[in-house]
Structure 1
């Protein structure tokens, strides 16, 4: 029988391992042992021991310069997530069509806690723009984008209160940074059925998004377009975005997908 005392070391090892894996992000894809030690807050000797285990299993790969990157074994495990892979595959052809119809970048995102996570992004824009908006797996605070606001507007009351009462990061002068204003915005989105923003994440760029619901009526994703402000006008893009969302929603319901949000 495992006692609380004997269970502590095991949990500690898991926590340390997760700290090391969490040290990687989109701006830090290759890290040395010293980098991993600094970013995880762990001693180099501890990092070296755990990294060797992760490398042996395939979760990390050794690079030519001696650094480490996320390995294929971990990627193979991650793509098994039904919340990401199934929804992305279902949405992809409809996003391609939406991009063709609007000339704007088309995207689908889901909520994970207080952030939206991009599942797919179809665009002919530059790599730098894609990195800000649509790199698959990119996380953005819910209050900063149209897809994020749609997801937040249909999240639980507890989650909405947590976001609205917490400090809201200002990405531009147009970003919503006051909780009362955000609550009013969410109520409007629920009432009108869509979100439209201009210049809240990147100046001069806007977004329009609508929800995707499962067979129970729960919002499981948001579909939207983004691009230069003059391109993202409801009168121009709304019908196309709603049609794409309806097609994705039909697929979600016909295939019986049950995609559960993380967080209240």
Structure 2
């Protein structure tokens, strides 16, 4: 491949990551031509790297010739400490919250300026498309779980987001930086976040923080449901108790693993 004068040549790692990065929730299966177009790499380069990824199991090839993320890459990703420990610690508590509340139970963590869904339990499959596919990313200002994470993030992160343009998903989405900052203060004061119709009309959520042994917020637990279900007097204590239970479970598991490794 000829590199334009003055342009640094991309390393094999950079090109490989570019290929993996073209897959997203709306583009789960892609042809070689699709991958080439979306990554900006020549088809010959894509073909060579894709063959390597396919051989290792990072990509799988369908009957019609398209490629998708492979099972081995997914298995590797589940080893991420922030995913595996939290998801395992939270699972039984989320099942209980889902049953008690009658709404969808969700666990999310922060990655930069976005929330990433780790677990989503719901009897409504359509909800997952908006909130809960594992790995689903959303801006922090849009959901209750995201607002909890933002309210407890570093001041610099809060300042950057409040000063940036805030995308409106519905008429109820907070899009004013000052309003958002005031809302974050309220969340820290009350210990939970409650929103209605900010991501999708006819749905809202209540969420509370999950903390590690040092008191740092590492994730958030929430319940998603219709507005008539979101009674703060009933659900907020329930969600906060679940978040605390997950916090305690995560601390216990962390202590146990530390003892095993000692």
The secondary structure found in structure 2 opposite 1:230 is helix
Cα deviation digits, residues 155-202 of structure 1 (max 9, x gap)? 001111111111111100000111111111111111111100010000
Give runs of aligned pairs for residues 6-21 of structure 1, distance below 5 A: 12-21=11-20
The structure 1 segments of at least 4 consecutive aligned residues displaced by more than 2 Å after TM superposition are none
1:235 aligns with 2:233: yes
1:70 aligns with 2:69: yes
Shift of 1:100: 0.8
Shift of 1:230: 1.1
Give runs of aligned pairs for residues 4-153 of structure 1, distance below 5 A: 12-125=11-124, 127-153=125-151
Please list every run of 5 or more consecutive structure 2 residues that lacks an aligned counterpart in the other structure: 1-7, 256-262
Shift of 1:21: 0.4
Distance 1:124 1:141 in 2: 24
Shift of 1:42: 1.7
* Corresponding residue of 1:211: 209
Query: What's the TM-score once normalised by structure 2's chain length?
Result: 0.91
Please list every run of 5 or more consecutive structure 1 residues that lacks an aligned counterpart in the other structure: 1-7, 258-264
Q: Is the 8 A contact 1:215 1:256 kept in 2?
A: no
Distance 1:94 1:252 in 2: 11
Distance 1:250 1:76 in 2: 26
Distance 2:128 2:70 in 1: 23
The secondary structure found in structure 2 opposite 1:143 is coil
* Corresponding residue of 2:170: 172
Moved more, 15-24 or 41-50: 41-50
Q: Is the 8 A contact 2:30 2:68 kept in 1?
A: yes
Give runs of aligned pairs for residues 150-165 of structure 1, distance below 5 A: 150-165=148-163
Cα deviation digits, residues 105-161 of structure 1 (max 9, x gap)? 111110011111111111111x22212111111111100000000000000011111
* Corresponding residue of 1:192: 190
Query: What's the TM-score once normalised by structure 1's chain length?
Result: 0.91
* Corresponding residue of 1:4: none
Residues matched between the structures, number? 248
Cα deviation digits, residues 88-111 of structure 1 (max 9, x gap)? 111011011111111011111100
The secondary structure found in structure 2 opposite 1:256 is helix
Q: Is the 8 A contact 2:192 2:240 kept in 1?
A: no
Shift of 1:60: 0.8
Shift of 1:229: 1.0
Q: Provide the alpha-carbon RMSD of the alignment.
A: 1.3
Shift of 1:236: 2.2
Distance 1:75 1:92 in 2: 19
Distance 1:48 1:156 in 2: 43
Shift of 1:255: 2.1
